[in-house]
């Protein structure tokens, strides 16, 4: 929730909001078995919505903490290596979750997850420094500073390409499993493996993305990530209805590579554009843009899938990706030209 990030920045309440969000997450997550059993799909939906709302607040505050710590050490390009541990744990969980659920009651898994959220929150919240510990200069009026920051052309162009590329990614990811299971008759084992293989390349890319950020601009990496996401949709459109479903495994490795490139590059752009006092707010804007694009991608993908089928859906989302990349590159060149002209004057 973007309002939580604004409140955190405005009142230097990062620690309090972090703890409050995590408590809400624990309650919402722990209530899922009971709301689903006693209130039906409506109660389950409410629990998931509450969980998702406050989980977004926690994720952005943790990213903000990580960026601030790395920036003070002048090591902001190492964010990928910090995020690497989250990817490893995600991969282990994906590989083991089915095995665990088959042998344990799902209620025990959810209870353990709720307790783990609480212990993680306690550790992280003790590390969240007040912004006053980082900033010594008197801040400008808060809302005026936010408005001035958000209307920067570089940030607006960046948010546009993130919105477009996440729309492509969401459309492809959401209806890929429908395509594989219904059109290509893939079994559950393949569907699980297709999620797991993306993590393998993601781990490697997260480790080496530091060198890419040090050798080129984050905008170039964003463009590369957009091309990879577009290529993923294009490959499914190219192989079409005759595709061997097992071919999805190497194609899905592109998803992990794209995420490992775009996530650190996005946070590097945010770090360059925003002062520490406003960084959580800008991260909230980025998170809101990603959430909006996820929903937009599912709507666009659903309409295209319903009217034209899976192959045309992949094809049209490919063209959306190509158009977004071209627009982003043209916008960056125009900004560069304008900046050069300004320097000459």
**Whole-number Å distance between alpha carbons of 111 and 36:** 15
Q: 54: how many CB neighbours lie within 10 A of its CB? A: 23
Q: Is the pLDDT of residue 290 over 80?
A: yes
Q: Tens digits of per-residue pLDDT, 306-337?
A: 999 999 999 999 999 999 999 999 999 998 88
Contact indicator for 286, 298 with CB cutoff of 8 Å: no
Between helix 40-72 and helix 14-38 the angle, nearest 10°, is: 160
d(CA 316, CA 329): 20
Q: Which residue has the higher pLDDT, 270 or 182?
A: 270
pTM above 0.75, yes or no: no
Q: Which of 163, 172, 188, 119 is nearest to 285 (CA)?
A: 163
pLDDT value of position 238? 92
Nearest-angstrom CA–CA distance, 343 and 345: 5
> How far apart, in whole angstroms, are the C-alpha atoms of residue 277 and residue 32?
36
Q: Distances in Å between the alpha carbon of 214 and those of 13, 161, 231, 274?
A: 33, 22, 25, 19
How far is 173 from 194, CA to CA, in rounded Å?
11
Highest mean pLDDT among 60-69, 120-129, 148-157, 192-201: 148-157
Could you tell me the two tokens for 192? 């699980």
Mean pLDDT for the chain overall = 76
| Residues 172 and 317: beta-carbon distance below 8 Å | yes
Whether the CB-CB separation of 270 and 205 falls below 8 Å is answered with no
The encoded tokens of residue 174 equal 């959401």
Residue 215 has a CB neighbour count (10 Å cut-off) of 10
Residue pair 54/1 in contact (Cβ under 8 Å)? The answer is yes
Q: Which CATH superfamily is domain 2-127+140-344 in?
A: MFS general substrate transporter like domains (1.20.1250.20)
Give the length of the chain.
345
Q: For residues 11 and 8, give the distance between their C-alpha atoms in angstroms, rounded to a whole number.
A: 6
Between CA 100 and CA 323 the distance in angstroms is 44
| CA separation, residue 70 to residues 81, 87, 270 (Å) | 11, 19, 13
pLDDT tens figures, 172-231:
998 988 888 888 787 767 777 777 777 778 878 888 888 888 899 999 999 999 999 999
Q: Is the pLDDT of residue 6 over 70?
A: no
What is the reported pLDDT for 111?
47
How far is the CA of 221 from the CAs of 9, 43, 84, 259, in angstroms? 28, 42, 18, 11
């Amino acid at each position: 929730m973007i309002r939580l990030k604004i409140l955190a920045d405005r009142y230097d309440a990062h620690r309090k909001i972090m703890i409050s969000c995590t408590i809400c997450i624990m309650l919402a997550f722990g209530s899922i078995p009971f709301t689903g059993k006693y209130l039906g799909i409506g109660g389950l939906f409410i629990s998931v919505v509450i969980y998702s709302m406050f989980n977004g607040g926690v994720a952005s505050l943790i990213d903000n903490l990580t960026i601030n710590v790395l920036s003070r050490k002048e090591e902001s390009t190492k964010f990928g290596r910090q995020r690497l541990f989250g990817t490893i744990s995600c991969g282990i969980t994906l590989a083991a979750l089915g095995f665990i659920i088959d042998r344990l009651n799902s209620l025990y898994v959810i209870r353990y997850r709720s307790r783990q959220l609480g212990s993680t929150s306690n550790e992280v919240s003790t590390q969240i420094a007040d912004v006053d510990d980082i900033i010594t200069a008197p801040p400008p009026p808060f809302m005026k500073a936010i408005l001035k920051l958000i209307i920067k052309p570089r940030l607006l162009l960046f948010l546009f390409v993130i919105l477009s590329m996440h729309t492509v990614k969401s459309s492809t990811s959401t209806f890929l499993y429908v395509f594989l299971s219904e059109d290509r008759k893939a079994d559950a084992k393949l569907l699980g493996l297709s999620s797991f293989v993306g993590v393998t390349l993601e781990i490697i890319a997260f480790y080496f993305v530091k060198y890419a950020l040090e050798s080129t601009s984050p905008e170039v990496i964003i463009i590369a990530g957009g091309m990879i996401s577009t290529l993923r949709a294009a490959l499914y459109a190219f192989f079409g209805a005759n595709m061997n479903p097992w071919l999805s495994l190497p194609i899905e490795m592109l998803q992990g590579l794209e995420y490992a490139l775009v996530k650190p590059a996005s946070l590097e752009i945010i770090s360059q554009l925003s002062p520490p006092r406003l960084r959580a707010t800008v991260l909230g804007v980025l998170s809101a843009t990603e959430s909006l694009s996820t929903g937009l991608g599912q709507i666009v993908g659903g309409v295209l899938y319903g009217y034209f089928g899976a192959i045309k859906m992949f094809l049209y989302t490919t063209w959306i990706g190509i158009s977004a990349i071209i627009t982003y590159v043209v916008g960056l060149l125009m900004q560069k030209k304008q900046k050069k002209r300004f320097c000459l004057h």
